[in-house]
Amino acid sequence: MLKGSGYTTKAACEALGISRSSYYSVRKVRVSEWSGGCKEDELLERIKEIKAEHPFWGYRRVTAWLKHREGLKVNHKRVHKVMKGHGLLATQTVHKAKRVSQRGKPRAERPRQYWGIDMTKFMIPTIGWVYLVIVLDWYTKKIVGWNLSLRSRAVEWKEALEAAINEEFSDGVRGKGLKLISDNGSQPTATSFMRDMAVLGIEQIFTSYDNPKGNADTERVMRTIKEEVIWLNEFGSLEQARQRLKRWIEVEYNRLYVHSVLGYKSPEEFEAEYYAKEALKEAA
């Protein structure tokens, strides 16, 4: 309706408080509208819009979004060619850890088996440092709990974890075999935190110095949060940051994000697919 009133897509989305990616994912651009795929200039404009909103995305994720969220028939080779020709490819520096892991990391075989917990901080000019704690399901890559606060104590970590437990284990977590992976920081090793984990029956697994990939899944998602939210916004208040993170986590990430490890499905899509397969096995 706003576009019909003369608003551009960008202006309409800003007025409604939604991202353009969310708009296009709901709109589901019909392939027929693109004349058998899409013209070069139309594809370029759409890629530019995606890159403006997701500057750290490479051509494979852009392709996945166009195919799986917008229904556009295009392959990664064509997207790569267009992006390369217009200087839109993402540059990435790979840093390899000098230390070598002496053991592998746990491999999740189902949802709610291994969770990772980690923290990062960022600056809000009017406040100072604020601290974000996330809890990630290693199998589905779904952010199951989070907390944004002015402090980073064991209590804030427990609040993030409690939110995850309440959401994922409505009938209680004890006896469900949940394992929690973290570093050796002061919060997860605090006496109160470890005591509560023991009471809940959650087994704690701590990464070691010689295992740089020990909590890599959680750390990678934390990096994504920085690229998609923290580095692209200047928040004026803690509540503003909370609201933006809430929408990104619940909608733009858990529901819509095209995750390469999940075959370019979102965490919620991947989780639903898993439980649908399990239901078929039980019915057979």
**Domain shared by 80 and 123, yes or no:** no
Identify whether residues 235 and 162 lie together within a single domain: yes
Supply the CATH number for residue 145's domain. 3.30.420.10
Whether residues 41 and 131 fall in one domain: no
Residue 31 belongs to domain spanning: 3-85
pLDDT in the model for residue 20:
59
**Which position has the token pair 């209590």?**
155
What's residue 176's pLDDT? 96
Whether 185 and 259 share a structural domain: yes
Mean pLDDT of 32-55: 74
Section 8-31 average pLDDT? 55
Strands (E), 39-127: 114-124
- Residue 102 within a domain: no
Same-domain status, 250 and 163: yes
The domain tally of the chain equals 2
Identify whether residues 148 and 265 lie together within a single domain: yes
pLDDT of res. 68: 79
Instruction: Indicate whether 34 pLDDT > 50.
Output: no
pLDDT at residue number 211: 59
Is there a single domain that holds both residue 21 and residue 124?
no
- Do 139 and 191 lie in a common domain? yes
Question: 122 and 80: one domain?
Answer: no
Within this chain, do residues 152 and 231 fall inside the same structural domain, yes or no?
A: yes
**pLDDT tens for each residue of 64-120:** 788 878 888 888 788 888 888 878 787 766 555 555 555 567 899 999 999 999 999
For the CA atoms of 123, 242, 170, 161, the dihedral, rounded to the nearest 10 degrees, stands at: 10
Q: What percent of the chain has pLDDT over 90?
A: 57
Are 38 and 149 in the same domain?
Answer: no
User: What share of the chain in percent tops pLDDT 70?
Assistant: 80
Q: 197-255: per-residue pLDDT in tens?
A: 999 999 999 997 655 567 889 999 999 999 999 999 999 999 999 999 999 999 999 99
CA 118 to chain centre: 13
- Mean pLDDT, residues 127-137: 98
> What was the pLDDT predicted at 30?
43
- Mean residue pLDDT of the chain comes to 85
